[in-house]
Amino acid sequence: MEVKSTKELHSELTMHSVRFAKDEQGRRKGQDVLFKWSEIEKKLGEHKHIYVVDARLGSNNHTHRLWYDVIPPHTEEGQDWRTLGHRHTVEAIIYFLKGHGHSIIDGERYDWGPGDLLSVPMFSWHRHINDGDEPVLRIASTTGPLSLALGQAVYEDERFPEFWIYAQEGEEARKTLIPGGGGKIENGEAGGNRTAEMYAEQVAFAMHEEQLRRKSKVLVKQKDLVFEPTAMGKLAYVVDPRIGCHSKALGVVMAEIPAGKRSGAHRHLYDEIDLIVGGKGKIIVEDKEYDFDTLDVLSIPVFQWHQYFNTGSEPLRILGINTRLAMDNLGLSLTHQGEHADHV
Ligand SMILES: [Fe+2]
Ligand SMILES: [Fe+2]
């Protein structure tokens, strides 16, 4: 085996950082954009849970993933959860396409049907139950890749208590929405000076977060979406901290483009995965074009210009799931607006 000198090794490491962004542009250009429902449907016939956009399957998305799954009639997520369900330190949204059922999230019941969306508060125990005679078809998206990269991905599942990290520490640790367990907000108070105050704020942070998570919006009903004209076309924010959600990483918008019209063009420094929930159309991503239909999935590469066209006779509805909030919180958000939509 070739042994590198200290100088060679550490010079290479420096160049790795310098080269990375340029290499990454190439990976973005080469990444798969369009995932056809016809292919996904075939796989769902073989297995009830199919990952679609996922770095483990070659996607260049570093921050979130998306999968399709089916819950058979009168079963529970096909996974035999009966009490706690599971919980995780990744943010998650679920969008229901077909079927009816309910979820138990942090002890509360939420009833849902087609077009409804759940924003699951971080680290809350949750279960999803199909109450009907039809299969439930849904997609879910989580910030699993981001949490894994941070070394902070914890998935506790009632079926596998041997892998619990925090819940096994006792009844209190099982109820809290804070990995590691809660505590008392005033626990850090001591000293009576500005530094002590700042430290006390640090100790209280997690407990404040837990309160905000418990107050946050969980279920968004399709009928409550408010569409308004924007530079990108008709948009409704679905999951956003500015409308009552306590999301820190994952945001969701719904776009609607009338027949024959086009959206605006934009690019941004966050990953975006789109689910086509109605209609058909075309997307231009930089210098490439893709035709898509209802239930297809699009993975938009970071910082590439994209614009949507409704080529059908029905309204085109696109659910855009993005990690803009994660980038906001890292101070890395940037959105460039190009051509405006033609219907505002
Ligand atoms: Fe989950
Ligand atoms: Fe976008």
Q: What is the mean pLDDT of residues 31-39?
A: 98
CA of 106 to the centre of ligand 1 (A): 12
Q: What is the mean pLDDT of residues 122-142?
A: 96
The dihedral region occupied by 303, where left means phi > 0, alpha psi between -120 and 50, and beta the remainder, is left
Task: Point out the ligand nearest to the CA of residue 89.
Answer: 1
CA of 20 to the centre of ligand 2 (A): 23
Least confident of 45-59, 93-107, 183-197: 183-197
Average pLDDT, the chain: 95
Which residue has 């500005």 as its token pair?
194
pLDDT at position 2? 82
Residue 280: count of CB within 10 angstroms of its CB: 17
Contact between 281 and 214 under an 8 Å Cβ cutoff? The reply is no
Q: What are phi and psi of 38, to 5 degrees?
A: -60, -40
Q: What is the mean pLDDT of residues 31-44?
A: 98
Task: Point out the ligand nearest to the CA of residue 335.
Answer: 2
171: its two tokens: 């009844």
CA of 334 to the centre of ligand 1 (A): 29
CA of 117 to the centre of ligand 1 (A): 13
Task: Point out the ligand nearest to the CA of residue 300.
Answer: 2
CA of 3 to the centre of ligand 2 (A): 46
Rounded CA gap, 83 and 239, in Å?
A: 27
User: Starting at the edge strand that comes first in sequence, how are the strands of the sheet with 34-35 ordered?
Assistant: 34-35, 297-300, 272-278, 316-322, 251-257, 233-239, 228-230
Task: Point out the ligand nearest to the CA of residue 253.
Answer: 2
In this predicted model, what pLDDT tens digit does every residue of 153-199 receive, in sequence order?
999 999 999 999 999 888 888 999 999 887 788 888 888 999 999 99
CA of 125 to the centre of ligand 1 (A): 8
Task: Point out the ligand nearest to the CA of residue 308.
Answer: 2
Residue type, 98: K
pLDDT at position 188? 81
Whether residue 78 has pLDDT greater than 70: no
CA of 282 to the centre of ligand 2 (A): 14
CA of 33 to the centre of ligand 2 (A): 13
CA of 113 to the centre of ligand 2 (A): 27
In this predicted model, what pLDDT tens digit does every residue of 142-165 receive, in sequence order?
999 999 999 999 999 999 999 999
Q: How would residue 82 be classed by pLDDT, with cut points 50, 70 and 90?
A: confident
Rounded CA gap, 218 and 110, in Å?
A: 8
Percent of the chain with pLDDT over 70: 100
Please give the full DSSP string across 162-201, using - where no structure is assigned: GG-SSGGG-HHHHH-SSTT----GGGG--SSSHHHHHHHH
Angle at 130 between CA 173 and CA 315, to 5 degrees: 110
Rounded CA gap, 21 and 15, in Å?
A: 11
CA of 267 to the centre of ligand 2 (A): 6
Which residue has 């209609």 as its token pair?
279
Residue type, 204: A
122: its two tokens: 């971080």
CA of 20 to the centre of ligand 1 (A): 33
278: its two tokens: 């109605």
Which residue has 């809290």 as its token pair?
176
pTM of the entire structure?
0.95
CA 191 to chain centre: 41
CA of 247 to the centre of ligand 2 (A): 18
Q: How would residue 70 be classed by pLDDT, with cut points 50, 70 and 90?
A: very high
DSSP designation for 121? P
Nearest CA-CA partner of 273 in 262, 283, 264, 287: 283
CA of 92 to the centre of ligand 1 (A): 7
Task: Point out the ligand nearest to the CA of residue 272.
Answer: 2
